[in-house]
């Protein structure tokens, strides 16, 4: 009996040790999870119960039928179903605080952008099978057979469908074998080139900016940091306005919107020009930036370089030039938006050496343990762009996105939207949904959403002296949201 008793006791002890150790490991992991330090109030817990009912139902249905789990499906095919998701509808109501990474000419929803093409004076031209747009007042250029869009629409009932196809990357078979990452990026940059002439007309730019602020505000986003440049514009009298005048237009449009929406916290612009340039051109960028920053410090808040990293110049090429202004500006570099290892991803090294305040995308960051260490030590926020990374072919299934690792390990992250106009999204909620459902654990709850909201202000380019004030505003919006959800679902 004694050997048998000993064996029973040994097995019992071993099993107890297994379950104790398992619970300890799970507890340790949970304590590292992004947002885990938040203590929910009684009312927040009630709201969390509502959220988790929706999440667990959707998540567990995905476990039973993986082909239906929306973050694993390309956004072009999942968008309609996302809009029916109770989790998505919940996230739309969340005060998301700030949107910190989106490109100025790719922010407005596709349909709203299409509607703006009904403005007077807009012409189109098919130039060697390349369709172009331009505003003309008082006569057109003779370089092409320019036709009023109004006439083109009257002649062809399908013209708007054609125009819409020129303004988005949306296709029927996005996950097919039609194209590699370079081809998708080429199409992406073609859209920027196609819509660019619209923003030369001052009235269009004003109306566009105002509607961008409205769409994001309607999505419970109260502050924006926009990547963009300030070019020349003209009005209907063909008067030319310089870059400083364009910056003034941004400022005036913000002031106008703030009168109509008094809970709006404003917007700022991170000067962002192409990374595929020469040393001399970079000198001109820096000169333009410093002039704009000096004239409009309340609008122009930082510097970045944009464009496909794989085919652009690495940050190291411009390191000496950028270092000359490092003590006079904040950097918000795109870096690591790549699947390569040991080439393009080295921009991550350069970005932190140049003391970047945030990193855009950082998709390759897990390949660089020293960068991960510095990011945590310096509290450098990572701007995650889930849908953009999927559409631009860095990842197919968002459960495999690098954001899952960063969230599991409590790294400072914000969820951003990059260029929602070009893939048929609107505002920030779609990306928050993809991150919450695809990159957080099954039990990841309201605390994650709350941390995302707070991070969106903690990591802005705004002066930190004003941070307590804006976080106090966010607390008020959050309290109103909790009350709204309780009233709506009880």
Q: Is residue 8 a contact partner of residue 387, using CB atoms and an 8 Å limit?
A: no
pLDDT value at 200 more than 60? yes
pLDDT confidence of residue 127: 84
- Tokens describing residue 256: 């106008």
Q: How confident is the model at residue 465 (pLDDT cuts 50, 70, 90)?
A: confident
pLDDT confidence of residue 261: 92
pLDDT value at 412 more than 90? yes
pTM: 0.95
Q: What is the mean pLDDT of the chain?
A: 95
394-421 burial code (b ≥16 CB/10 A, e <16):
bbeebeebbbbebbbebbbbbbbbbbbb
Q: What is the pLDDT averaged over residues 381-409?
A: 98
pLDDT confidence of residue 174: 75
Proportion of the chain above pLDDT 70, given as a percent: 96
> 225 an active-site residue?
no
Question: Which of the residues 134, 361, 368, 401 is marked catalytic?
Answer: 361
pLDDT value at 409 more than 80? yes
How far is the CA of 488 from the CAs of 47, 89, 455, in angstroms?
A: 10, 12, 27
Q: What is the pLDDT averaged over residues 164-172?
A: 93
Q: Which of the two residues, 6 and 47, has the higher pLDDT score?
A: 47
pLDDT confidence of residue 176: 59
pLDDT value at 13 more than 80? no
Q: How confident is the model at residue 175 (pLDDT cuts 50, 70, 90)?
A: low
pLDDT, tens digit (0-9, with 9 covering 90-100), for 273-294: 999 999 999 999 999 999 999 9
pLDDT confidence of residue 11: 61
> 44 an active-site residue?
no
Which single residue is written with the structure tokens 């419970």? 220
Question: Which of the residues 44, 225, 309, 337 is marked catalytic?
Answer: 337
pLDDT value at 177 more than 60? no
Instruction: Out of 77-91, 165-179, 286-300, pick the least confident.
Output: 165-179
pLDDT confidence of residue 129: 81
pLDDT confidence of residue 178: 64
Proportion of the chain above pLDDT 90, given as a percent: 89
Within a 10 A sphere around the Cβ of 218, how many other Cβ atoms? 12
CA separation for the pair 425, 422 (Å, rounded)? 8
Domain ranges of the chain: 77-108+193-481, 120-167
Q: How confident is the model at residue 32 (pLDDT cuts 50, 70, 90)?
A: very high
Q: Which fold has domain 77-108+193-481?
A: TIM Barrel (3.20.20)
């Amino acid at each position: 009996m004694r050997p048998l008793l000993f064996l029973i006791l040994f097995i019992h002890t071993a099993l107890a040790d297994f379950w104790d150790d398992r619970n300890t490991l799970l507890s340790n992991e949970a304590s590292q999870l992004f947002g885990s330090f938040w203590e929910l109030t009684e009312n927040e817990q009630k709201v969390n119960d509502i959220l988790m009912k929706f999440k667990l139902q959707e998540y567990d249905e995905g476990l039973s039928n993986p082909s239906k789990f929306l973050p694993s499906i390309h956004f072009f095919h999942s968008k309609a179903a996302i809009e029916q998701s109770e989790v998505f509808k919940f996230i739309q109501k969340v005060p998301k605080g700030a949107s910190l990474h989106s490109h100025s000419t790719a922010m407005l929803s596709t349909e709203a952008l299409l509607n703006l093409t009904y403005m007077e004076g807009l012409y189109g031209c098919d130039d060697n099978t390349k369709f172009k747009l331009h505003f003309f007042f008082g006569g057109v250029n003779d370089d092409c057979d320019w036709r009023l869009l109004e006439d083109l629409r009257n002649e062809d009932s399908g013209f708007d469908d054609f125009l819409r196809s020129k303004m988005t990357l949306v296709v029927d078979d996005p996950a097919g074998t039609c194209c590699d990452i370079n081809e998708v990026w080429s199409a992406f940059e073609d859209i920027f080139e196609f819509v660019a002439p619209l923003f030369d007309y001052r009235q269009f730019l004003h109306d566009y900016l105002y509607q961008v602020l409205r769409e994001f505000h309607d999505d419970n986003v109260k502050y924006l940091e926009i990547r963009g440049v300030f070019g020349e514009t003209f009005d209907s009298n063909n008067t030319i306005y310089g870059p400083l005048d364009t910056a003034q237009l941004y400022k005036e449009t913000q002031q106008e919107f703030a009168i109509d929406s008094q809970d709006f916290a404003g917007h700022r612009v991170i000067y962002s020009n192409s990374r595929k340039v020469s040393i001399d051109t970079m000198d001109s960028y820096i000169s333009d930036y410093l002039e704009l920053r000096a004239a409009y410090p309340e609008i122009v808040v930082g510097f970045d370089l944009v464009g496909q990293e794989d085919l652009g110049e690495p940050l190291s090429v411009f390191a000496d030039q950028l270092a000359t202004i490092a003590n006079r500006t904040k950097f918000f570099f795109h870096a690591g938006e790549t699947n390569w290892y040991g080439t393009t991803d080295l921009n991550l090294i350069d970005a932190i050496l140049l003391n970047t305040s945030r990193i855009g995308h950082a998709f390759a960051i897990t390949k660089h343990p020293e960068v991960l260490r510095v990011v945590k030590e310096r509290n450098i926020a990572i701007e995650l762009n889930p849908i953009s990374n999927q559409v631009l072919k860095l990842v197919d299934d968002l459960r495999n996105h690098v954001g899952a690792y960063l969230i599991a390990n409590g790294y400072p992250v914000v969820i951003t939207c990059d260029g929602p106009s070009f893939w048929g999204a609107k505002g920030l909620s779609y990306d928050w949904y993809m991150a919450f459902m695809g990159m957080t654990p099954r039990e990841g709850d309201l605390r994650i959403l709350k941390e995302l909201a707070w991070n969106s202000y903690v990591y802005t380019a705004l002066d930190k002296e004003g941070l307590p004030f804006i976080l106090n505003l966010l607390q008020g919006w959050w309290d109103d949201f909790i009350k709204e959800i309780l009233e709506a679902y009880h």
